[in-house]
Structure 1
Amino acid sequence: MQAGDGSAAGQRGASIWPQAAERFPPADRILSTILTRQAARYRDRMLFVFGETRWSYAETVSIAAASASRLLQAGISAGDRVGLMCSNRPEFLEIYLGCAWIGAVTVPINTALRGIQLSHVLRDSTPKLLAIESCFMPAIETLEKDVSSPQIVWTIGEATAAPLAPESILPLPPLGEEASPAAARPGDTVAILYTSGTTGPSKGVCCPQAQMFWWGVYSARALGIREGDVLFTTLPLFHTNALNAFYQALLNGCTYVLEPKFSASGFWAAARRHQATVGYLLGAMAVMLLGQPKSAGDTAHFMRVALGGGVPGQFHGPFLERFGVPLLDGYASTETNFVFASTIPSDRPGTMGFLVEGAEARIVNPDDEPLPDGEAGELLLRAREPLAFSTGYFGMPDKTTEAWRNLWFHTGDRVVRDADGHYRFVDRMKDSIRRRGENVSSWEVEQVLLKHPAIAACAVYPLPSELGEDEVAAAVQLEPGHAPDPVEIVRHCEGKMAYFAIPRFVRIVTAMPLTENGKIQKVALREAGRTPDTWDRDVAGHKLRR
């Protein structure tokens, strides 16, 4: 049943990504124009599928225009920010498309955020309207006292007990009349996506309309997407991966299939049901699929290729052998784009691949001087295409200047370029953690830990997991006369941060390793690894309260 076997699902059109830039000259790289033009071309072809919900290309234009009208009637206009805290469901895309239609800015919010993290996003972005799925309303109760709720709150889905005053909450209004698109420009911000920092709070990445266009072009090119493909994702829409997959489908005449969430046991059955030809996996997801019991259905599907960013190299071969699906290696970030891609299948599994056309890269020393091939240094990136990268961090001109100094984006990643132009990720230069596809700010976790009266000092750092990604570890130095156990420390974190940021490992130390300047030497903690006195939440069987 795989796509290359001559079946109906395998007979797809040729790749058409090279024509995207020609069909949409710079001024037309805005979502309303792309939607309208593609609807005229594909009309009744299915664009979006979610459960029983199906939108054709033509219907999607009407939904975007009606969603825009709903926002305008609520007083939202171009440049206003709309917070969106919603799981994978059609209403998410409705609101995103409506905002883009009138030039408003969507602020997707990770549905796991609580406490200090959620407070920062709302305090920083100051949305005029918050659309929130009803099941996430209890998160509002965890906000810090100085954070005021937006002027308008729309609830999505069945109502639950609300922590806000009833008069400030309305159910999501139904779609009605349609509005004309605004005169947006390619450089206008269409979304602000928050990505975790290292030595400070998360930064809001300003994504212009044209950047999302180029995400669709570059990603489709790397994956070899063809007209008529069925793109299947279970990743959350509040991250750029699933969001830009919608653009991949839209630009290439494909169907975008969205599932509520990833299920290792149900992934292949769903892919088979939708006749998916392209899939999207990150890190541990491929490892989890390999961990499922083998069955005859392992190759009974139509999938031709899957994105495998972050999947450890040793799992590529077994994945291809078992499921018949090659994994694409690559490298991307919210601030940049899909700028590195491997061959299909990857010629050197688990690495970054080669630099794509349209981007420039340098490996440099701390003074931004280029280093020779084979020597590790910081990866710097620059776009050749106009507005293919982010325009900066929202409300943080100092951080924007720092990251884009010398007109290059400084990734904070240590990378090696081989003599043949192949790039390899070595490690992160800064103190960041990536767990199950989520970036974790060690600084934010430390701020929560330090509010515990028994904790005098702490350091949060990554330790490797069995699935090839990071796990969050915390070293804790206690105040004299206090003796909380690791369970109490973890309980202190619950409800105050996203569940994925809560430490799995807790190590209580008598003193922190310090540098000559008195700073905590996290590298020593990382290198020590799982010491005999490191408590492991998974081994202890502690279940988090979300």
Structure 2
Amino acid sequence: MSDSRLDIRELTIGNILRRQAEHYGSKIFLTELNTGRTFTYSEINTQVNRISNGIRDLGVTHGTHVALLMLNSAENLSCFFALGKLGAVSVPINTAARGASLRYFLDQSDSEFVIVDAELLPRLVEVLDGAPKIRHVIIASAGELNSNAIEPSGHRQVAYLDRIITTSRKEDPNAQVVCSDLLLLSYTSGTTGPSKGCMVSHAAALSYGTGYIEVHGYRDTDVFYVCLPLFHNNALLAATGSALLVGGSIALAQRFSVSRFWDDVCRSGATITNFLGSISSFMWNQPALPTDRDNSLRLVSMAPTPKFAGAFEQRFGLSVMNNYGLSDFGMATAFTENSPREKLGSIGKARRGIQVRIVDDQDFEVSNGTTGEIALRAEEPWRAATGYYKMPEATAKATRNLWFHTGDRGYRDDDGYFYFVDRKKDSIRRRGENISSFEVEQTIIAHDAVTEAAAFPVKMESSDEEVGAAIVLKPGHSVSEREIIEHCQKNMAYFMVPRFIQFRLELPMTQNGKVEKYKLQEDAETFIASFWDREKAGIQLTR
């Protein structure tokens, strides 16, 4: 039941859930770490069936768009699976969204139903008058304080998920669903513009799991520690999808916590977990302990892979892997535990069934070692996302010349290993030189006093750009701007050294761990006097 090479036409949520419930029935599929609740494969499938039948009775049919405004929970996953069984379309919404941004997600996605945790219900109520397409609200985990916060009306009905689960039929809904049917709209982070809804079919969603299983050798004995939010494809598809397809188990946390991380891992016996963004640095910067290797993890995915990844492996007794992909496309490359460790930092080789090219601005392939844009193409139909919902111009631009253009810059070495350099829009253009924000950040983070750094362009009156850097120091450490400049001069080309520096207590982040650099740019260009200026300090760089 854990065969990663299933025929793509078999890849539907309903089909996989039925198969795994039959094969692994009494095995624990999911453990909620905050509540201690457990669900076997059979129990989760039964709960999914009850939700499917209950929401179908309310009017959810094949193709209905349903927003999920939910925290990490068994009910969140069950609702996602239940919608998949019906052929309905899930719209997972960032739980930090509120006001105009929440209204945008509901309206742009054409959602007709919303399933919302009671804790988040007040945010939904704030925007419902401006969301006329919503005709049904289903409240999950309804508490006394919030259960009456919204009243039914002639236009909009209210239901409760716990009642649906306890009263609906447990038989399989037996809806007709095929692998090419749209399963979810996965919204991009929107750090550089309006969030785009990536259209992901059943086959594309489940290909995350089949791909991970194949390249990383996941086993049905693996326990996946999931602490990232389920509205993100990493947690929902890469981790949960892999566990479901391989017959493994999930240890689900409500959120990532530095202080709880190792306790959760050891308590659950987790063997695999995924880091995104700054999580690697958060864990690395914790004080070293003699017991650091006393844990059950065998594989940790780090995206991006930091320079200290090799030392991280040795300190914690595990293997670091890397998986490159985008919500806009799917997973494309993999660096595995069997890849050469001297290439640690690479995003690995192309996965089976995926073509990867490095192209120039005219879409022509460049030679090995030359940096260009990473372009992707799937060799099978429905294996990748199928464009942006209601954004045909953005879809056409991204998929020109029959290749998906990632907007990421990278290069390929002579052994076929790919390396990420930076976001095409995240590079800094200074006096004719293209500067990788990623490389600047990695150099700054290598300083013993630094825990986080973000490099970004600061537009000047001359229309040129200068390098800005926002830096977070480790607790109890201090360092001057001059010392940062000296460190940078020793470790990067002179033209990459930041001109503007600001020490901050924290960086503005999305819930997915991505730095909201546009906020840093806005701060720098609006309040430039609050940034330390290398030129005003009279520091001359050595070329």
User: Which residue of 309, 321, 325 maps to 1:332?
Assistant: 325
Q: 1:60 to 1:325 in 2, by over 3 A?
A: same
Alignment of 1:171 onto 2:164? no
User: Which residue of 421, 425, 431 maps to 1:430?
Assistant: 425
User: 1:159, CA displacement in angstroms?
Assistant: 4.8
User: Which residue of 207, 210, 213 maps to 1:214?
Assistant: 207
Kindly provide the amino acid, as one letter, of the partner of residue 203 in structure 1: K
Q: 1:141 to 1:63 in 2, by over 3 A?
A: closer
1:34-55 Cα deviation digits (max 9, x unpaired): 1111222222111111132222
CA distance in structure 2 between the partners assigned to 1:281 and 1:316 by the alignment: 12
Alignment of 1:289 onto 2:289? no
- Matched with 2:218 is 225
1:363-394 Cα deviation digits (max 9, x unpaired): 11111111111111111100113311001111
Matched residue SS, 2:138: strand
Alignment of 1:503 onto 2:492? no
CA distance in structure 2 between the partners assigned to 1:36 and 1:165 by the alignment: 37
Contact 2:524 / 2:531 at 8 angstroms: preserved in 1?
Answer: no
Contact 2:188 / 2:328 at 8 angstroms: preserved in 1?
Answer: no
Q: 1:472 to 1:44 in 2, by over 3 A?
A: farther
Q: 1:472 to 1:104 in 2, by over 3 A?
A: farther
Q: With a CA cutoff of 8 Å and minimum separation of 6, indicate the structure with the bigger relative contact order.
A: 1
Q: Choose 195-204 or 127-136, whichever is displaced more.
A: 195-204
CA distance in structure 1 between the partners assigned to 2:190 and 2:401 by the alignment: 21
User: 1:124, CA displacement in angstroms?
Assistant: 0.5
CA distance in structure 1 between the partners assigned to 2:283 and 2:332 by the alignment: 27
CA distance in structure 2 between the partners assigned to 1:510 and 1:53 by the alignment: 49
Kindly provide the amino acid, as one letter, of the partner of residue 116 in structure 1: A
- Matched with 1:83 is 67
Matched residue SS, 1:216: helix
Contact 2:90 / 2:183 at 8 angstroms: preserved in 1?
Answer: yes
Contact 1:473 / 1:504 at 8 angstroms: preserved in 2?
Answer: no
1:438-463 Cα deviation digits (max 9, x unpaired): xxxxxxxxxxxxxxxxxxxxxxx999
Q: Choose 143-152 or 83-92, whichever is displaced more.
A: 143-152
CA distance in structure 2 between the partners assigned to 1:422 and 1:188 by the alignment: 33
User: 1:75, CA displacement in angstroms?
Assistant: 0.8
Which runs of structure 2 are paired with 1:87-486 in the superposition (5 Å)?
A: 87-140=71-124, 143=127, 146-148=130-132, 150-157=134-141, 158-161=143-146, 164-165=150-151, 167=153, 168-172=157-161, 173-175=163-165, 176-178=168-170, 179-197=172-190, 200-244=193-237, 245-312=239-306, 314-344=307-337, 346-430=341-425, 464=441, 466-467=450-451, 470=454
Kindly provide the amino acid, as one letter, of the partner of residue 331 in structure 1: Y
- Matched with 2:27 is 45
Matched residue SS, 2:39: strand
User: 1:330, CA displacement in angstroms?
Assistant: 2.4
Report % sequence identity.
Answer: 30
Q: 1:185 to 1:207 in 2, by over 3 A?
A: same
1:52-88 Cα deviation digits (max 9, x unpaired): 2222122222111111011111111110011001111
1:155-209 Cα deviation digits (max 9, x unpaired): 2222545765455544323312134231101010111110035664111011100
Alignment of 1:26 onto 2:19? no
Q: 1:509 to 1:307 in 2, by over 3 A?
A: closer
Contact 1:508 / 1:533 at 8 angstroms: preserved in 2?
Answer: no
Contact 2:28 / 2:40 at 8 angstroms: preserved in 1?
Answer: yes
CA distance in structure 1 between the partners assigned to 2:72 and 2:456 by the alignment: 26
Matched residue SS, 2:208: helix
Kindly provide the amino acid, as one letter, of the partner of residue 194 in structure 1: Y
Contact 2:32 / 2:38 at 8 angstroms: preserved in 1?
Answer: yes
CA distance in structure 2 between the partners assigned to 1:144 and 1:73 by the alignment: 23
Q: Choose 292-301 or 228-237, whichever is displaced more.
A: 292-301
Kindly provide the amino acid, as one letter, of the partner of residue 414 in structure 1: R
Contact 1:96 / 1:106 at 8 angstroms: preserved in 2?
Answer: yes
Kindly provide the amino acid, as one letter, of the partner of residue 169 in structure 2: E
User: 1:431, CA displacement in angstroms?
Assistant: 5.1
Contact 1:268 / 1:297 at 8 angstroms: preserved in 2?
Answer: no
Q: 1:476 to 1:165 in 2, by over 3 A?
A: farther
CA distance in structure 2 between the partners assigned to 1:342 and 1:510 by the alignment: 41
After TM superposition, the score normalised by the length of structure 2 is 0.76
CA distance in structure 1 between the partners assigned to 2:521 and 2:260 by the alignment: 30
Query: What residue ranges of structure 2 are gaps of 5+ in the alignment?
Result: 429-436, 462-507, 536-543
Kindly provide the amino acid, as one letter, of the partner of residue 336 in structure 2: T
- Matched with 2:480 is none
CA distance in structure 1 between the partners assigned to 2:187 and 2:205 by the alignment: 15
User: 1:286, CA displacement in angstroms?
Assistant: 1.9
User: 1:99, CA displacement in angstroms?
Assistant: 0.2
User: 1:504, CA displacement in angstroms?
Assistant: 5.2
1:222-249 Cα deviation digits (max 9, x unpaired): 3321221111111111001111112211
Q: 1:506 to 1:209 in 2, by over 3 A?
A: closer
CA distance in structure 1 between the partners assigned to 2:26 and 2:277 by the alignment: 36
Contact 1:363 / 1:379 at 8 angstroms: preserved in 2?
Answer: yes
RMSD: 3.3
User: 1:471, CA displacement in angstroms?
Assistant: 7.2
User: 1:408, CA displacement in angstroms?
Assistant: 0.8
- Matched with 1:36 is 18
Contact 2:285 / 2:451 at 8 angstroms: preserved in 1?
Answer: no
Contact 1:129 / 1:151 at 8 angstroms: preserved in 2?
Answer: yes
CA distance in structure 1 between the partners assigned to 2:70 and 2:372 by the alignment: 38
CA distance in structure 2 between the partners assigned to 1:330 and 1:533 by the alignment: 37
Q: Choose 196-205 or 154-163, whichever is displaced more.
A: 154-163
CA distance in structure 1 between the partners assigned to 2:84 and 2:395 by the alignment: 24
CA distance in structure 1 between the partners assigned to 2:530 and 2:398 by the alignment: 30
Kindly provide the amino acid, as one letter, of the partner of residue 30 in structure 1: T
CA distance in structure 1 between the partners assigned to 2:9 and 2:281 by the alignment: 42
